[in-house]
Amino acid sequence: MAKKRRKPRARTPQALPASAGAGSRPAAEGREAGTTEAPTHQRAERKEQARAARDNARRRIERQRRVRRGVTIVGVAAVVGVAAFLVFRTDAAGSIPEETLALARAAGCTDVQAPVGSAPGGQHLGSGEPANYTQRPASSGVHDPAPLPAEQAVFTQPIREENAVHNLEHGYILLYYRAEGPEALPQDVLSSLGGIAESQDKVFVAPYAELNEGTSLAMVAWNKVWECPPTVEAADAATFANAFIAAYKGTSNAPEGNVP
């Protein structure tokens, strides 16, 4: 009797070791973690770079602002300095050309006189107090605290001498004339002098009753007096007045010649 063949036994798959499955998952997780770590680091670097760029831009803008402020301050200071120089500068006293002096002598005028050896400024009286000047016309000395106002250039009535001397201290020129009597200054001469005074600042024309005998025109600056007779002609008088003004008006000849 023949023997029956046995069917081969089905082989059951062997279970993987527990350690195999567990070991493979952390490796996968590690690979996933590796894929996210690099972009996060790059984003942090980009943020840091952007922050540094913003900081640099802010610093650059602030530096530009400081430079602009500095330039503005320097510019304003320069403008103020130039303005102050132009307003308060004091030109040196000049001199009258010799040919003009010779012409004046020929016309009967005196030489330019300096009546006192020393004429300091800043000596004020009480307001309204008389000075009792002995020099006629006064060209320096104590004076009223207030000068004459500058609005008017030509006067037909006498001006208060204590105030006028204060104007002389500020570099003004006074053109005094004799208004009455046989030695009165001719009208054409007076008109010529009035036009000169009205064409510029710091020049007054005013009558003066107590001029020295033989004098009809006295040109006065601080401690400077130049006198001419009634026979002086209009053209010559204008030449003399303009030369006197150019030499002494607003100059260091006066203690406060730069005061407006």
What average pLDDT does this structure show over 167-193?
A: 98
Q: Is residue 75 part of a domain?
A: yes
In a shared domain, residues 44 and 144? no
In a shared domain, residues 204 and 114? yes
In a shared domain, residues 52 and 170? no
Predicted pLDDT of residue 58: 79
Q: Are strands 173-177 and 203-207 parallel, antiparallel or unpaired?
A: parallel
Q: Is residue 27 part of a domain?
A: no
| Per-residue pLDDT tens digits for 214-249 | 999 999 999 999 999 999 999 999 999 999 999 999
The percent of residues above 70 in pLDDT, for the chain, comes to 79
Q: Is residue 16 part of a domain?
A: no
| Token couple for 134 | 């002995």
Domain boundary among 28, 60, 89: 89
- CATH number assigned to the domain comprising residue 152: 3.40.30
Q: What domain count does the chain have?
A: 2
More confident residue, 45 or 258: 258
Contacts of 215 (CB under 8 A, 6+ apart): 178, 183, 227, 228, 229
Predicted pLDDT of residue 64: 81
In a shared domain, residues 117 and 157? yes
In a shared domain, residues 107 and 157? yes
In a shared domain, residues 58 and 137? no
Q: Is residue 77 part of a domain?
A: yes
Q: Domain range spanning residue 76? A: 40-89
In a shared domain, residues 56 and 138? no
Predicted pLDDT of residue 72: 74
In a shared domain, residues 175 and 84? no
Q: Is residue 61 part of a domain?
A: yes
Q: Is the dihedral of CA 193, 194, 200, 205 positive or negative?
A: positive
Residue where the block lists tokens 């036994």: 9
The percent of residues above 90 in pLDDT, for the chain, comes to 62
Q: Is residue 235 part of a domain?
A: yes
Contacts 24+ apart (CB under 8 A), 42-50: none
Cβ neighbours, 10 Å, residue 97: 13
Closest by CA to 163, choosing from 129, 121, 209, 197, is 129
pLDDT surpasses 70 at 52: yes
pLDDT surpasses 80 at 251: yes
What average pLDDT does this structure show over 110-128?
A: 93
3-state secondary structure of 228: strand
Domain boundary among 89, 111, 146: 89
| Token couple for 37 | 């770590």
| Per-residue pLDDT tens digits for 134-157 | 999 999 999 999 999 999 999 999
In a shared domain, residues 82 and 154? no
| Token couple for 252 | 């260091």
Among the residues of the chain, which ranges form H helices? Answer: 18-88, 98-106, 161-169, 187-198, 234-248
Kindly state the greatest CA–CA separation across the chain: 192
| Per-residue pLDDT tens digits for 196-216 | 999 999 999 999 999 999 999
- Break the chain down into helix, strand, coil percent, rounded to 5: 45, 10, 45
Closest by CA to 200, choosing from 175, 227, 236, is 175
pLDDT surpasses 80 at 81: no
In a shared domain, residues 78 and 163? no
pLDDT surpasses 90 at 45: no
In a shared domain, residues 105 and 122? yes
In a shared domain, residues 174 and 240? yes
More confident residue, 74 or 127: 127
| Per-residue pLDDT tens digits for 12-34 | 555 545 444 444 454 444 444 44
Contacts of 153 (CB under 8 A, 6+ apart): 194, 197, 198, 203, 204, 205
Residue where the block lists tokens 């009480």: 126
